[in-house]
């Protein structure tokens, strides 16, 4: 049987893709595309109107990004580790880019001249491609027991930006070689994404810039009596201090997330006071009214809403210093230190501000929330929360034993 002849549109799209890859978008003429497709130029204009409409059809109809990325990921996903996955994906990406340097340079350098629909199509294609790679990367990270403060999509975006920058410089410049061999560049790239941009021993610096092994956190929640004493001290100190402690223990925020809260981020609903978190992992978190057995107001009347109503300034930030400026981490630590003076944990140490979040996580687990929902609310990975789940089970076992002990034994 003879092969069905392709439609005129399909032949024009195929010819355009080939010529864009060979010459770039600017140097490719509509006449050349028509000749390659074996039609006259009038037919091209009748079907697409102009060259940029033809480029739009190439981007949309050929699914060039999806086909390219699917092929790359299928090869990279066969690797056994995240490091090998990243190495293979980066290497295959560069090889693919090198097959059509003029097309890549045209898209990067000339997209500002394209109509808005072309730029939207480019953005959509790249976004879909990145999401596809991110799904595979997320599976690989979970399988290997790794963690990162960046989402898989953020990691893939950064990786692709670096690869594109390297390719453009290497293909456009002479005498600019930071790496002797491409393999050296790829090895450096994988090291960068696995171990971060700095060799500092600071856990904070590493966790914010790299994929790291999940180490068991020291899940030391605070006892209810200590938390109650801390709340009493905060109430006596001032409305802002009371609101701060309420947010830390009621919503389980990290200090950095609390400091970046703004007035508009506090949403009062009939049954809940919800916080919109825009720092780190974007999410919404309800503030608990009941904390460690005590009720602190309602959705509309609580330490946070009372603090905001008492404010006379126009600052957007929820927590401010004495000068009316946004509170810094150092000022937050100083406030916490003053509130916890004379308070000691069962381990004989002053309470750390990070323990407020640990206490919230364990309390939520004891109330019955599952790990997936807690991960959504906390912005933390399920793998990390498993350590808190173990501590919650230990506490539940102690409470169950206490209840049994209170029952009268039968004679």
Q: Give me the domain span that covers residue 199.
A: 63-213
**Of 151, 180, 213, at which residue does a domain stop?**
213
Residue 350 lies in a domain: yes
Residues 322 and 291 in one domain: yes
Residue 328 lies in a domain: yes
Q: Which residues pair with 267 in a beta bridge?
A: 274
Higher pLDDT, 108 or 42: 42
Tell me the per-residue pLDDT of 336-380, one tens digit each, with 9 for 90 and over: 999 999 899 988 889 999 999 999 999 999 999 999 999 999 988
DSSP states of 25-88: TTT--HHHHHHHHTS-HHHHHHHHSSHHHHHHHHHHHS-HHHHHHHHHHHHHTTSSSHHHHHHH
Report whether pLDDT(205) > 50.
no
Residues 204 and 285 in one domain: no
**Of 153, 183, 213, at which residue does a domain stop?**
213
The answer to whether the CB of 211 falls within 8 A of the CB of 148 is yes
Residue 32 lies in a domain: no
Residue 6 lies in a domain: no
Residues 173 and 286 in one domain: no
Classify strands 294-295 and 266-268 as parallel, antiparallel or unpaired: unpaired
Which DSSP state fits 317? B
Residues 228 and 359 in one domain: yes
Residues 197 and 240 in one domain: no
Residues 247 and 394 in one domain: yes
For residue 104, the model assigns a pLDDT of: 64
Residues 168 and 238 in one domain: no
CA angle 345, 348, 349 (to 5 degrees): 70
Residues 182 and 289 in one domain: no
Residue 349 lies in a domain: yes
Half-sphere exposure (CA, 13 Å, Cβ side) for 316? Answer: 5
Which DSSP state fits 340? T
Output b/e per residue, 339-369; b: 16+ Cβ within 10 A: bbeeeebeeeeebebebbbbbbbbbbbbeeb
Burial class for 308, CB neighbours closer than 10 Å (0-12, 13-18, 19+) = middle
Residue 183 lies in a domain: yes
Residue 155 lies in a domain: yes
Rg (CA), the chain: 29
Output b/e per residue, 247-266; b: 16+ Cβ within 10 A: bbbbbbbbbebbbbbeeebb
State the average pLDDT over residues 231-244.
95
The CATH number given to whatever domain includes residue 324 is: 1.10.443.10
Report helix, strand or coil for 124.
Answer: helix
Report the number of secondary-structure helices (H) and strands (E) in the chain. 19, 7
Provide the domain count of the chain.
2
Q: Which of 41-55, 165-179, 190-204, 338-352 has the lowest mean pLDDT?
A: 190-204
Tell me the per-residue pLDDT of 287-308, one tens digit each, with 9 for 90 and over: 999 999 999 989 889 999 999 9
Residues 238 and 293 in one domain: yes
Residue 153 lies in a domain: yes
Which residue shows structure tokens 């050296």?
A: 184
Residues 315 and 384 in one domain: yes
For residue 109, the model assigns a pLDDT of: 61
The CATH number given to whatever domain includes residue 171 is: 1.10.357
**Of 186, 213, 240, at which residue does a domain stop?**
213
The answer to whether the CB of 190 falls within 8 A of the CB of 86 is yes
Residues 250 and 373 in one domain: yes
Residues 375 and 394 in one domain: yes
């Amino acid at each position: 049987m003879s092969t069905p002849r392709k439609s005129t549109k399909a032949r024009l799209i195929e010819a355009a893709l080939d010529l864009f890859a060979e010459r770039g978008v600017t140097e490719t003429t509509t006449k050349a595309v028509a000749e390659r497709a074996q039609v006259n130029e009038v037919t091209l204009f009748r079907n697409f109107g102009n060259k940029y409409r033809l480029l739009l059809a190439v981007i949309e109809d050929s699914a060039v990004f999806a086909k390219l990325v699917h092929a790359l990921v299928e090869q990279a996903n066969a690797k056994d580790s995240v490091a090998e996955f990243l190495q293979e994906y980066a290497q295959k990406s560069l090889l693919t880019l090198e097959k059509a340097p003029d097309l890549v340079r045209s898209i990067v350098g000339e997209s500002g001249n394209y109509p808005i629909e072309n730029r939207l199509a480019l953005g959509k294609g790249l976004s879909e491609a990145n999401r596809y790679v991110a799904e595979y990367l997320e599976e690989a990270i979970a399988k290997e027991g790794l963690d990162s403060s960046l989402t898989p999509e953020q990691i893939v975006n950064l990786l692709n930006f670096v690869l594109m920058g390297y390719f453009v410089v290497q293909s456009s410049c002479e005498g600019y070689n930071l790496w002797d061999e491409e393999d050296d560049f790829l090895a450096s790239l994988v090291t960068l994404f696995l171990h971060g941009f700095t060799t500092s021993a600071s856990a904070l610096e590493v966790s914010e810039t790299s994929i790291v092994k999940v180490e068991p956190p020291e899940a030391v929640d605070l006892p209810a009596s200590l938390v109650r004493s801390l709340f009493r001290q905060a109430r006596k100190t001032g409305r802002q201090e009371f609101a701060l402690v309420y947010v830390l223990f009621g919503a389980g925020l990290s200090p950095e997330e609390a400091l970046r809260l703004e007035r508009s981020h506090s949403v009062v609903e009939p049954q809940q006071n919800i916080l919109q978190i825009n720092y780190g992992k974007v999410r919404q978190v309800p503030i608990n009214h009941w904390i460690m057995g005590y009720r602190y107001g309602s959705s509309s009347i609580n330490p946070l809403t009372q603090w905001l109503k008492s404010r006379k300034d126009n600052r957007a930030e929820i927590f401010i210093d004495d000068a009316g400026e946004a509170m810094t981490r150092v000022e937050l630590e100083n406030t916490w230190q003053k509130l916890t003076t004379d308070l000691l944990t069962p381990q004989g140490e002053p309470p750390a501000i990070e323990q407020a979040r640990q206490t919230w996580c364990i309390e939520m687990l004891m109330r019955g929330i599952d790990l997936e929902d807690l991960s959504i609310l906390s912005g933390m990975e399920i793998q990390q929360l498993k350590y808190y789940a173990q501590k919650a089970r230990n506490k539940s076992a102690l409470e169950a034993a206490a209840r049994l002990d209170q029952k009268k034994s039968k004679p």
